[in-house]
Chain A
Amino acid sequence: EDKVVQSPLSLVVHEGDTVTLNCSYEVTNFRSLLWYKQEKKAPTFLFMLTSSGIEKKSGRLSSILDKKELFSILNITATQTGDSAVYLCAAYSGGGADGLTFGKGTHLIIQP
């Protein structure tokens, strides 16, 4: 059975800190790994990763994939209170099973 595990499940830091969120996966016919940010509304797409070792970057957020070790990390530098959210990691396998397999998410709280 496909599985995605995120850690930590929750994290509280102060504004300005740097955080690293982890995601490991076991998925047959793996095609891509996706990160979403979920506040009290729709999960918002952040990154899609398909190749190992290539960092994707958007402002203070960055992410990288290791297909050999089957994990990805999401980094947020100089955190702000607006970064407080649940960060979801999902694996996509395609090949007839087109739903995403999600982890439980990391609940990130940024304190002023």
Chain B
Amino acid sequence: NAGVMQNPRHLVRRRGQEARLRCSPMKGHSHVYWYRQLPEEGLKFMVYLQKENIIDESGMPKERFSAEFPKEGPSILRIQQVVRGDSAAYFCASSPLGSREGIQYFGAGTRLSVL
């Protein structure tokens, strides 16, 4: 039973390029969450998605960041025109339908470095 799969594990981009981070939830899970972890900081919630729907994007920066979870395929977190401040670890988590107590299972993260 594979866990939450994220790829790539490491991503290097130059300023102004686009970054695409992928997340496949655990089998049977239909809820996906994205978090960002800056050095010396805790995980910060960015966005919560169900299939084809963004449920809560209150933690997403208003510009350059977008997320989707299509009917088929992984969830994608997209960062356009990356800047050095976007360098961070981005974690994806998933939970099953109907989880009421908030247990989320995390992937190993994608470490984005912006040169």
Query: Is chain B found bound to chain A in the same assembly?
Result: yes
Which residues of A pack against B, CB within 8 Å? 4, 31-32, 34, 36, 41-45, 48, 50, 88, 90, 92, 94, 96-105
Flag whether B48 is at the interface (Cβ < 8 A).
yes
Q: Is the CB of B43 within 8 A of A102?
A: yes
Q: Is the CB of A96 within 8 A of B103?
A: no
Q: Is the CB of B107 within 8 A of A102?
A: no
Q: Given the interface contacts A42-B108, A88-B43, does A96 sit within 8 Å of B56 by beta carbon?
A: yes
Smallest distance from the beta carbon of B71 to chain A beta carbons, Å? 21
Flag whether B12 is at the interface (Cβ < 8 A).
no
Contact partner of B109 (CB less than 8 A), chosen from A42, A45, A94, A96, is A42
Flag whether B41 is at the interface (Cβ < 8 A).
yes
Report 20 cross-chain contacts, Cβ distance below 8 Å, ordered by A residue: A4-B42, A31-B101, A34-B103, A34-B104, A36-B106, A41-B108, A42-B109, A48-B102, A88-B42, A88-B43, A92-B101, A98-B31, A98-B33, A98-B102, A99-B33, A99-B59, A100-B93, A100-B104, A102-B35, A102-B43
> What secondary structure prevails in chain A residues at the interface with B?
strand
B54-87 near A? 1/0 per residue, CB < 8 Å: 0110110000000000000000000000000000
Q: Is the CB of A31 within 8 A of B100?
A: yes
Residues of B contacting A100 in the complex (Cβ-Cβ under 8 angstroms): 33, 35, 43, 45, 93, 102, 104
- Considering the complex, give the chain A residue whose CB is closest to the CB of B59: A99
Expressed in whole angstroms, the Cα–Cα distance for A31 and B100 within the complex equals 8
